[in-house]
Chain A
């Protein structure tokens, strides 16, 4: 049973690597989340900085 699981895991991972290798069009889709995450971070960070700047104008020294 344990051998079956280990072999199954190996096959699954092998299949993933095979897909990545055989279908280059899939690669941008697979890599997209890392770019989207940074964009989302930049959006929220930008909003936070605006908040900070706005509040600092009202109260420069805390």
Chain B
């Protein structure tokens, strides 16, 4: 079995130490920079204003650089360093060319990673998961991936295929299939709209892990475990079964990132089945690897490189079973979009991949002549990284479960954000531990005693001569069996193409007809610019744009997103994570001035928000938006607009009492696929009655209301409701001074549930009935006390009536019920003075100066006596019944109907 060995001239090493060292150091540098990006991103969750003055350091851009850096700068360089060490052992030949190796090194680092990072920070990127580097950089990476095939796969072509060890198969499969899959996720979403493009995005999201990271980490595992233990893997046959299952099934997993979406259900179900298959495969792979260590487990304690790789293999099993579980629809319905998934991805990219690469680099560093290497620092690195990672994964998994439970409840979105704060803070601590572990790893390759041996230049010619001198021993029957490998490899390529067809092409074709019926109007130039900003600054990484066909999503966000709505979306911006709420139905949810204030300083309108500010979109204040901010808001106003226009007018009685109870999941195994017709916004199911029952004298309710007010309302209205905040001033109309008005209970209830169209006052229907009762009680308690003085002079009222009839009745109606002839076209609708009583000072000011942001003008030509009279007259309406009904138009406007 042993090959014939001839000696090589002593002057030349068997592997290219220079390239190993160069890629190894580039990897370590990439790891530190990428981890710093990650830690900064984590810190911004509890310090949203950290580094927020500049566009380049905003959360979204750093997040893009974090994941792309881990994939390409750290893991990419780490894999390449290991392959230069492993290939001569696996292929019995040196790499194709040393010169090509150096060209690849510079292309990878100076033409891909560095420009990619820089361009993303400069705002040139793609909002596509695991494909965030801009298209120009993606082309360079694709070129480099082809070079990798030439450098590392071509030597196998010259070798005897029937002798390829499983690590060599993973190397070949990883290199070839990644070169095929990378354009799928980078290019096709630009060519195919919305849902059709998302099908391909899903493929790449999973292929980045399944066809690039996993195979190359397994190269390290299949290499280091046998070499360190001196024992072969338990069964090469099992390992090959595992290999082919992985490459046949992994590409079919991708659509499980978009379960309950508009992608055809057949593709979603297929992805679920493939994901479970994948979990079974990993059990086989890991068992086979770990069985090789039976009887020599003590080595895991003494050999640090082996310990890293062993941990990687164990965590591979954990993360794969976790991944299969996440793909099961009933479980996915709960945890998808939560921090559970972020914990899972960190377990995969650090626990499995990074531990594997760290072990691989340590293994080869111990064998590099002349380099410094510190086992002590490596030991520290292992424990710091292990503890940091495990704490982080436990923390994020728990956070995900809490978020899932809260999203399933009727509690507000911000309740889940507030509940997550502690977990996110702990995540930063874990991240700091991880970073210190990575730092210790970097030190282990830079300090310590020098390894024995003298550095000698690698000679390609000498390595080729050495390889030619090795003659593999032929086995009986190997000639025809050798052909089996070739055919099997061809079958693998065919299966990859099939997966592309099944999960990408067929769903896209199935969606074609539906998407052809999409909105005729595409985006305007301004909206397109806004969409570009939305993608550039990473909004899609906190806000999804897909209401899934699940009861919880429908209840919270509205009708499920349909494929036709995305007919003009190049590329899709569906997103796979929710830190903020879904925005697919944002169109009428908040007015433009609220959006601008929110972008300028989110905490000013949502005090507990963790969203970063975007001050570079403004000229110094929320009232001075740049064209970019205006365009971004214009784009936000389009989200769900087409679906709103398409929605049939509700005719099932009072809107606020519509039944939105979805089909019980027990009756629908696919999770409420047969959804009832629901309005664009999901209103409260309990109606107004329960809120009307508030008691403004109940200290308990007032206390509850004060707390809810502080979290949700104080940003605009101020802590004491006096509307004297900078935010209030930036809104048009300004946020109301609640201490200057008295409100009827029905008005308060309606406004809290439906908001005030034409103003920044949103609907708070997501709050519970008890919370809304509390707010109503608290707001009532803020207002002026009931009038106890003498009734107004009748003569004054008669004078006021005359002024009112002349100047005010056109809008406010002849009886002050807000139902004048102009009322139907005004937003916000004119005040109904039977339900709203302004205090005297604020009423005088309104008459004299008008109300900014509304149709109420100033009346400078009225005499002081007339002003006093009309104010007294208007105030006298409060609490009296109106004999004229409010027009349906104004009522529906209050309720937020289109």
A binding-site residues for B, Cβ under 8 Å: 1-3, 5-6, 9, 12-13, 16-17, 20, 25-41, 43-45, 47-48, 50-52, 54-56, 58-59, 62
Contact = CB atoms under 8 A, between A and B. Distances in A.
Contacts of A6: 252, 270, 273-274, 277
B502 interface: yes
Identify the 6 closest CB pairs spanning chains A and B, nearest first: A2-B270, A55-B454, A52-B453, A37-B165, A34-B232, A33-B165
Contacts of A32: 1, 163, 236, 475
A48 B13 contact: yes
Contacts of A13: 241, 244-245
Interface class of chain B by DSSP: helix
Interface stretch (B84-92, B440-448, B533-541): B84-92
Given A30-B237, A33-B165, A48-B367, 9 more contacts: A2-B266, A3-B270, A12-B244, A29-B162, A34-B226, A36-B163, A38-B226, A44-B15, A47-B8
B506 interface: yes
Contacts of B165: 33-34, 36-37
Interface residues of B, number: 66
B13 A33 contact: no
Contact of B369 (A1, A31, A52): A52
Nearest to A50: B10
Contacts of A58: 454
A37 B167 contact: yes
B131 interface: no
A34 B163 CA distance: 9
Contacts of B491: 12
B2 interface: yes
Contacts of A48: 13-14, 367, 453
Contacts, number: 147
B450 A30 contact: no
Contacts of B472: 36
B103 interface: no
B599 interface: no
A43 B249 contact: no
Contact of A26 (B1, B481, B498, B503): B481
Nearest to B14: A44
B236 A51 contact: no
B3 interface: yes
B857 interface: no
Contact of B1 (A9, A36, A43, A51): A36
Interface string B615-658: 00000000000000000000000000000000000000000000
B233 A2 contact: no
B270 A62 contact: no
Contacts of A44: 14-15, 88-89
Identify the interface centre among A1, A36, A37: most chain B CB within 10 Å of its CB. A37
A5 B506 CA distance: 14
A54 to B, nearest CB: 6
Contacts of B89: 37, 40-41, 44
B502 A5 contact: yes
29 contacts: A3-B270, A5-B495, A5-B499, A6-B273, A13-B241, A13-B245, A25-B477, A29-B475, A31-B235, A33-B164, A33-B236, A34-B165, A34-B236, A35-B232, A38-B226, A39-B2, A40-B3, A40-B89, A43-B2, A43-B5, A43-B470, A47-B14, A51-B369, A55-B369, A55-B453, A55-B456, A56-B452, A62-B370, A62-B452
